[in-house]
Amino acid sequence: MPLAIITGGATGIGAAAVRKYASEGYDVALLDIEKEASLALCNEAHSGSVTFYETDVRSRKAVQSAVSKAADQFGAPTVLFSNAGIQRLSSLFDLKAEDIDAIIDINLKGTLYVVAAVAPHMRDAGEGSIVLMASDQVFAGKPGSIAYGASKGGVAQLAKSLSVELSPLGIRVNAICPATVKTPLTDKIFTDLGNKHYDGDAEAAWKAETDTIPLGRIASPEEIANIVYFLSSAEASFMTGALVPVDGGFTAQ
Ligand SMILES: NC(=O)c1ccc[n+]([C@@H]2O[C@H](COP(=O)([O-])OP(=O)(O)OC[C@H]3O[C@@H](n4cnc5c(N)ncnc54)[C@H](O)[C@@H]3O)[C@@H](O)[C@H]2O)c1
State pTM to two decimals.
0.98
**Among residues 63, 186, 200, which one has the least CA distance to residue 119?**
63
138 in the same domain as 194: no
163 in the same domain as 80: yes
* Residue of 35, 54, 183 to mutate, ligand 1, most atoms within 8 A of C-beta: 183
Task: Tell me, in angstroms, the distance from the centre of ligand 1 to residue 99's CA.
Answer: 15
Annotated catalytic residue: which of 113, 148, 198, 229?
Answer: 148
pLDDT of residue 211: 97
147 in the same domain as 118: yes
57 burial (CB, 10 Å; 0-12 / 13-18 / 19+) is: buried
The span from the CA of 121 to the CA of 100, in Å, is 32
Residues contacting 221, CB < 8 A, separation 6+: 12, 13, 15, 16, 181, 182, 183
Q: Is 165:241 a contact under the CB 8 Å cutoff?
A: no
| Residue nearest ligand 1's atom 8 by CA | 135
209 in the same domain as 84: no
Residues of the chain with pLDDT under 70: none
The 10s digit of each residue's pLDDT in 25-39 is: 999 999 999 999 999
Cβ of 137 less than 6 Å from ligand 1: no
pLDDT of residue 232: 98
**Among residues 160, 249, 234, 229, which one has the least CA distance to residue 16?**
229
pLDDT of residue 89: 94
Do the bridges between strand 128-133 and strand 27-32 make them parallel or antiparallel, or are there none, so unpaired? Answer: unpaired
The span from the CA of 130 to the CA of 180, in Å, is 22
Q: Calculate the dihedral angle through the C-alpha atoms of 166, 167, 169, 172, rounding to the nearest 10 degrees.
A: 80
136 in the same domain as 41: yes
pLDDT of residue 165: 98
176 burial (CB, 10 Å; 0-12 / 13-18 / 19+) is: buried
144 in the same domain as 127: yes
Task: Tell me, in angstroms, the distance from the centre of ligand 1 to residue 88's CA.
Answer: 11
The span from the CA of 209 to the CA of 205, in Å, is 6
189 in the same domain as 246: no
pLDDT of residue 29: 98
203 in the same domain as 137: no
pLDDT of residue 12: 98
pLDDT of residue 180: 97
Q: Is 251:245 a contact under the CB 8 Å cutoff?
A: yes
207 in the same domain as 147: no
The span from the CA of 91 to the CA of 136, in Å, is 19
pLDDT of residue 11: 98
Q: How many domains does the chain have?
A: 2
199 in the same domain as 83: no
143 in the same domain as 84: yes
What is the residue range of 208's domain?
A: 182-218
97 in the same domain as 135: yes
- Concerning whether 229 is annotated as a catalytic residue, the answer is no
Is residue 50 within a helix (H) or strand (E), and if so which, with residue range?
strand 50-54
CATH of the domain at 31: 3.40.50.720
pLDDT of residue 236: 98
